[in-house]
């Protein structure tokens, strides 16, 4: 079994190397990850610039391929240039920081799983609910490994991948697995206005996520209640149930 490992925090991220170490006990693991952090890049791909691939070592051994591009670029390059065979599974992560609600739209972690799904590879995006740089990934690694086994055993429905979020807790304190939906949230953006040394105005973007719904079946609430959230995600964006409404507009 061969697993393609991707992320958006970059090839030197701890969430990636900790997961790789565990998975390599049991599977062939190929790492293709951005050469630097690529958070909030959404489903960006690189068409206007050349892409480069570098071999990266860890403790004197070959570790993986770093790519001068986005998470989606990494998946495309892995499949079309680096790998000789289609992998059995793609795992994107483990991301530092939860990807729930509106975050999915901006997430490079999620975009790599979307790209894998479009290229017909069973895919999982995994995030740990903490922004601490010294986070302990051991619980998330264990849970990712279990979910990977399930996907390899059962497969995934066509056009669907799993978005997994793990609470930042030890295994004993996690209550179980909840199959969830994406929470309805949005970002209340704030732009901090500053003046540069040349006297010109610039802005820094930041934002806090506003929770519009508190449904118990959401990814956000599962995490908050100490459950691992697993959301089945589709990349077909059509709101099929709304087609008749719009059709009526043109009938008058």
DSSP 8-class letter at 39: T
Separation between Cα atoms, residue 73 and residue 90, nearest integer Å:
14
Least distance between its own copies and beta carbon 140 (Å): 17
Least distance between its own copies and beta carbon 236 (Å): 6
Least distance between its own copies and beta carbon 20 (Å): 24
Least distance between its own copies and beta carbon 130 (Å): 18
**Alpha-carbon dihedral sign for residues 200, 191, 41, 96:** positive
Instruction: Using the minimum distance from each CB to its own copies, give the nearer residue, 169 or 179.
Output: 179
Separation between Cα atoms, residue 231 and residue 178, nearest integer Å:
8
Of 158, 67, 84, 151, the C-alpha closest to 118 is 158
Least distance between its own copies and beta carbon 63 (Å): 19
Per-residue H/E/C for 101-140: CCHHHHCHHHHHHHHHHHCCCCEEEEEECCCCCCCCCHHH
Instruction: Using the minimum distance from each CB to its own copies, give the nearer residue, 18 or 229.
Output: 229
- Give the pairing type, strands 176-179 and 201-211: unpaired
Instruction: Using the minimum distance from each CB to its own copies, give the nearer residue, 59 or 189.
Output: 189
Instruction: Using the minimum distance from each CB to its own copies, give the nearer residue, 4 or 20.
Output: 4
Least distance between its own copies and beta carbon 59 (Å): 26
Instruction: Using the minimum distance from each CB to its own copies, give the nearer residue, 20 or 143.
Output: 143
Separation between Cα atoms, residue 129 and residue 110, nearest integer Å:
15
Instruction: Using the minimum distance from each CB to its own copies, give the nearer residue, 17 or 114.
Output: 114
Least distance between its own copies and beta carbon 186 (Å): 5
Question: From residue 63, how far is each of 57, 98, 108, 134, 188 by CA, in Å?
Answer: 5, 26, 21, 21, 39
Separation between Cα atoms, residue 250 and residue 252, nearest integer Å:
6
211: enclosing H helix or E strand: strand 201-211
Instruction: Using the minimum distance from each CB to its own copies, give the nearer residue, 181 or 224.
Output: 181
Separation between Cα atoms, residue 15 and residue 28, nearest integer Å:
18
């Amino acid at each position: 079994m061969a697993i393609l490992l991707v992320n958006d925090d970059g090839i030197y991220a701890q969430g990636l190397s900790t997961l790789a170490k565990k998975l390599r006990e049991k599977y062939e693991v190929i790492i293709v990850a951005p050469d630097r952090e690529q958070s909030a890049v959404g489903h960006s791909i690189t068409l206007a610039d050349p892409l480069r691939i570098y071999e990266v070592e860890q403790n004197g051994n070959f570790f993986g391929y770093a790519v001068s591009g986005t998470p989606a670029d990494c998946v495309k390059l892995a499949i079309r240039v680096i790998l000789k065979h289609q992998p059995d599974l793609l795992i994107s992560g483990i991301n530092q920081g939860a990807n729930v609600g509106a975050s999915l739209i901006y997430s490079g972690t999620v975009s790599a799983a979307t790209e894998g799904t479009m290229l017909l590879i069973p895919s999982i995006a995994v995030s740990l609910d903490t922004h601490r740089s010294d986070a302990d990934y051991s619980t998330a690694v264990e849970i990712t490994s279990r979910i990977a086994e399930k996907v390899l055993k059962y497969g995934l429905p066509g056009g669907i991948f799993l978005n997994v979020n793990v609470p930042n807790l030890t295994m004993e304190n996690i209550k179980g697995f909840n199959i969830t939906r994406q929470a309805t949230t949005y970002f209340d953006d704030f732009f901090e206005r500053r003046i540069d040394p040349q006297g010109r105005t610039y802005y820094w973007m930041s934002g806090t996520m506003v929770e519009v719904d508190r449904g118990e079946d959401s990814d956000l609430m599962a995490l908050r209640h100490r459950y691992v959230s697993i959301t089945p995600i589709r990349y077909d964006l059509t709101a099929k149930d709304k087609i008749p409404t719009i059709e009526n507009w043109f009938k008058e």
